[in-house]
Structure 1
Amino acid sequence: MSWQQRIAKAVAERQETNTLRQRQPLAQGAGRWLVRDDRRYLNFSSNDYLGLSQHPRVIQAWQQGAEHYGVGSGGSGHVTGYHQAHQHLEEQLADWLGYDRALLFISGFAANQAVIAALAGREDRIVADRLSHASLLEASALSPAQLRRFQHNDSQHLSRLLAAPLAGQQLVVTEGVFSMDGDSAPLADIARVTREANGWLMVDDAHGIGVDGVNGRGSCQSQGVKPELLIVTFGKAFGLSGAAVLCSQTVADYFLQFARHLIYSTAMPPAQAVALQAALGVIQSDDGQQRREKLAQHVAQFRLGASGLAYPLTGSQSAIQPLVVGENSRTLQLADRLREQGCWVTAIRPPTVPAGTARLRLTLTAAHEPQDIAHLLEVLHGERG
């Protein structure tokens, strides 16, 4: 089979199973409203949980950063791309989250890949929650280490896997809040089991940072856990993009020598780092607390009003409220009908989620208003499967 035949066959298979991914060009799409083809929709697919992508203070900071630094970094951070704005942001993140060091990465995907690639050796074992993000599972599978997956949020199964004999070291990998189910990991139990096995814990808190914990410090702080490796990303509650790895001084020095995704990538624009400092300031402020409280009110309103829907919700208490439909074509049809009623919702299908669990991944944000949630519920209650 030729390259072209192989590619065409793979795309055709996705089309036949209603799992073909397609992008939608938007005129506007990060805030409360999404605009496409001159029509405005209430946006229930954004990860901008606190609405900071539209915050005047954050926007102004990026503009001021661009005026001072320009719009690019100029190279890898190991050459000329590391600016004072990056250094100041790293220092602020480390102080806020209680670590020696923070290292900035261009994306959460790159940060996860870099950490696992730099750490995992042939005699080591990675034990990951089976529903961990694709960046974590892919990096683990591609590493020379042995990969084992524990049942979702099952610390007892994790303990059994960690007890198997091993010559090297063990790295336990999980998310703080899971991106497709919206549920939280039992981090205190996982940390205890990992510690008893003399392993290290790595937590990707992309969906918890900025929202959970005191002053938005995230899932780990809220459960009294300090993993050896904490990954925070800026594409969700921070309202921007990029990521950081929080770790000890020695581990940071190691990554600066051996993390190829850090060494060989152009650094994020320093203007972006200035905007991220502003976003962090908002998260830590009374404004940030009010936004977290507003988001929690929206979640409570939605879950109370969702009683009796044709399709079940998961047990999520986070901004992520998945409505599990099951069948791919039905999920797509339901998403289309919601859009007809002015609600932009994305259908999530395999392989992103397990087969038979296609869903509408509804996300609520502090940018919404109570009447937005009420309208979404009204439309959903109009669907009877």
Structure 2
Amino acid sequence: MSTDKLDSSLELELAALKEEGRSKSSERIIQGYVPPEKDRGPRYQLVGSDQAYMRFNSNAYLSLSNHPELIEAADRATREFGVGPGAVRFIDGTFIHHVGLEERIAGFVEKPAAKIFNSAYTANCGLALAISGKNTHWIGDQLNHNSIIRAMRISNVPSENKGIFRHNDMADLKRCLDAVSPDMDRVVVIFDGIFSMRGDFAPINEIVEICREYEEKFRDGVITVVDDSHGIGAFGKTGRGTPEYAGAWPDVVVGTFGKAFGVNGGFIAGSRTLIEAVRQKADTYIYTNPLSVADCAAAIKALEICDSPEGQALLTHLAAQTKRFRKGLDRLGLESIDGPHPVVPLMVRDTAKTHELVSYLYDHGVLVVGLTFPVVPKGDETIRFQINACHTPKDIDQVLDLLGAFFSTP
């Protein structure tokens, strides 16, 4: 037997993706890390290049991945318990570090309980599997992350049990709620906290208030869920994310340890009963090995740092560098989407120019992500810059100088 026939078909599918402009470029491989020095942040070395690069495409907003205390915590846990759990959670694959991280993150997001997953993606899928039934109606923002969309598909939510409201449009959210059949037992309103391609955020205080008006219409009420993967740790006065910034907590918080906290894994936080339902019913939790104790120990340490004066200093520095970069774009007359979050989109609005700018920045030692048609509509072509706490004023100014030179060239 061979896969020759399958390979031929897959080659046609891959060629179609490329023709449509939806294929991914070759993956660059990081082979070296150059620590920060004096007034410059860290640099990264790539296979096939002699240049050192700044990463302006990293989700590690607090730059904790190389923090010596996280490394020490991961090393200590690994030396004590090994590199892998050896089983799923309910077959003695639960270690003290798993429980410790669940207790720590639940307290951090002000919920009674939490359950950790291998990623926020699998957490969203697990939540949908745990709380969805034939009489559950789901309502989501039109710009929700793929993991939320996929979660609804995995849990077999029929089209008549779904509503999509225009991005951050509260009148349209009301329209979706008004359209829910009275036969539904429960309604789930789910949305990103920070929308990762735009850097804007959900008005959670308004969403919670609107949903409260419909609470009595359904047997199990209206459950609000935020996926705050890009907000948790990097947003809000103390890093509690978009709910803290907006001044309102939804019923359920989904998030990740793989962005601001610099580690790996995801979580669901909510009531103790909901979390037990997740433990009993979420396939993406039940049938897979959990995070390593190293991941858990490092994530616990990251949360401790976030709640310390050092964490507050990192947040302050991150906000200052984000503001510096945004002001720099304004000074250059370049278009962005307003907001305080360290995701800063540069609206290029031209596919060819976006590709040209990504290549130009790469040639000058800066890694960024470009979004072009058909991934985004024509006219919405964007470069996403992500500011990290490791970026220095000199780093920010260097990138702004490059942008100024690029856009001033005829």
Task: Give TM-score scaled by structure 2 length.
Answer: 0.89
**Contact kept? 1:310, 1:381, Cα under 8 Å:** no
What's the counterpart of residue 38 of structure 1? Answer: 50
How many aligned positions are there?
384
Aligned CA distance change for structure 1 residues 266 and 35 (closer, same or farther; 3 Å): same
Q: Which moved more, 1:302-311 or 1:232-241?
A: 302-311
Q: How much has 1:273 moved relative to structure 2?
A: 0.6
**Which residue does the alignment assign to 1:147?**
162
Choose from 78, 84, 104 the match for 2:96: 84
The yes-or-no answer on 1:321 pairing with 2:344 is yes
**Residue 374 in structure 1 maps to residue 397 in structure 2:** yes
Task: After TM superposition, list the pairs within 5 Å mapping 1:195-206 onto structure 2.
Answer: 195-198=212-215, 199-206=222-229
Matches within 5 A, 1:191-230: 191-198=208-215, 199-230=222-253
Aligned to 1:24: 28
1:139 CA drift (Å): 1.4
Secondary structure, aligned partner of 1:326: coil
Residue identity over aligned pairs, in percent, reads 31
Match of 2:218 in 1: none
Deviates more, 1:342-351 or 1:185-194: 342-351
218-227 or 373-382: which moved more? 218-227
Structure 2 residue aligned with 1:8: 11
User: Please, which runs of 5 or more residues in structure 1 have no aligned partner?
Assistant: none
Structure 2 residue aligned with 1:231: 254
Q: CA deviation at 1:342?
A: 1.5
Q: Is the 8 A contact 2:166 2:172 kept in 1?
A: yes
Match of 1:159 among 146, 161, 174: 174
**1:188 maps to 2:192:** no
C-alpha distance in structure 1 between counterparts of 2:286 and 2:356, whole Å: 45
Once the two structures are superposed, residues 160-191 of structure 1 have per-residue CA deviations (whole angstroms, 9 ceiling, x without a partner) of: 11111422221111111111100011000011
Are the counterparts in 2 of residues 238 and 280 from structure 1 also a CA contact under 8 Å?
A: yes
Q: Secondary structure of 1:291's match?
A: helix
From 113, 117, 123, give the equivalent of 2:125. Answer: 113
Q: State the alpha-carbon separation in 2 of the partners of residues 345 and 316 from structure 1.
A: 19
- Alpha-carbon spacing, 1:351–1:74, altered in 2? closer, same or farther (3 Å): farther
For residues 376 and 78 of structure 1, the distance between their equivalents in structure 2, rounded to whole angstroms, comes to 49
After superposing the two structures, state which structure 1 stretch, 13-22 or 66-75, moved more. 13-22
Post-superposition shift, 1:314? 1.4
1:125 has 2:105 as partner: no
Return the index of the structure with the highest Cα Rg: 2
- How has the CA–CA distance of structure 1 residues 10 and 324 changed in structure 2, closer, same or farther, with 3 Å as cutoff? farther
Report what 2:293 is aligned to.
270
Task: Give CA deviations for 1:296-317 in whole Å, capped at 9, x if unaligned.
Answer: 1111111111125475211232
SS of aligned partner of 2:337: coil
**Is contact 2:33-2:45 (8 Å) kept?**
yes
Following superposition, the deviation at residue 137 of structure 1 comes to 1.2
Cα offset for 1:16? 2.7
Partners of 1:372 and 1:177 lie apart in 2 by 24
CA contact (8 A) 1:18 1:328 kept: no
Residues 365-374 or 348-357, more deviating = 348-357
Q: Distance in 1 between matches of 2:108 and 2:333?
A: 43
Q: Contact (CA 8 Å) 1:108, 1:232: kept in 2 or not?
A: yes
Matches within 5 A, 1:215-364: 215-307=238-330, 309=332, 311-349=334-372, 352-364=375-387
Q: 1:349/1:32 Cα in 2 relative to 1: closer, same or farther (>3 Å)?
A: farther
Letter of the 1:154 partner, please give it: D
SS at match of 2:104: helix
3-state SS in 2 of match to 1:75: coil
> Match of 2:255, SS?
strand
Task: Kindly indicate whether the alpha-carbon contact (under 8 Å) linking 2:137 and 2:180 is maintained by their aligned counterparts in 1.
Answer: no
SS at match of 2:395: helix
Provide closer, same or farther for how the CA distance between residues 351 and 275 of structure 1 changes in structure 2, counting only shifts above 3 A. farther
Query: Secondary structure of the equivalent of 1:49?
Result: coil
Structure 1 residues 102 and 334: alpha-carbon distance in aligned structure 2, compared to 1, 3 A threshold? same
- Tell me the secondary structure at the aligned position of residue 215 of structure 1: coil
Q: CA deviation at 1:106?
A: 0.4
Change (3 A) 1:29 1:220: farther
Q: Deviations over 1:324-360 (max 9, x none)?
A: 2233343222101011111111223456544542321
Match for 1:290: what amino acid?
A
Which one-letter code corresponds to 2:106 in the other structure?
A: A
Secondary structure of 1:53's partner? coil
Conservation of the 8 A alpha-carbon contact between 1:310 and 1:383: no
SS at match of 2:336: coil
Name the aligned partner's letter for residue 117 of structure 1: L
TM-score by length of 1: 0.95
* 8 Å Cα contact 2:113-2:275 kept in structure 1: yes
In the alignment, the residues of structure 1 paired with residue 105 and residue 374 of structure 2 have an alpha-carbon distance, to the nearest angstrom, of: 34
- Between 343-352 and 169-178, report the one with greater CA deviation: 343-352
Counterpart Cα distance in 2 of 1:251 and 1:358: 40
Summarize the Cα distance change of 1:244–1:116 in structure 2 as closer, same or farther, 3 Å threshold.
Answer: same
Residue identity matched to 2:29: P
Which of 196, 199, 204 is the equivalent residue of 1:179? 196
Q: CA-atom RMSD, angstroms? A: 1.9
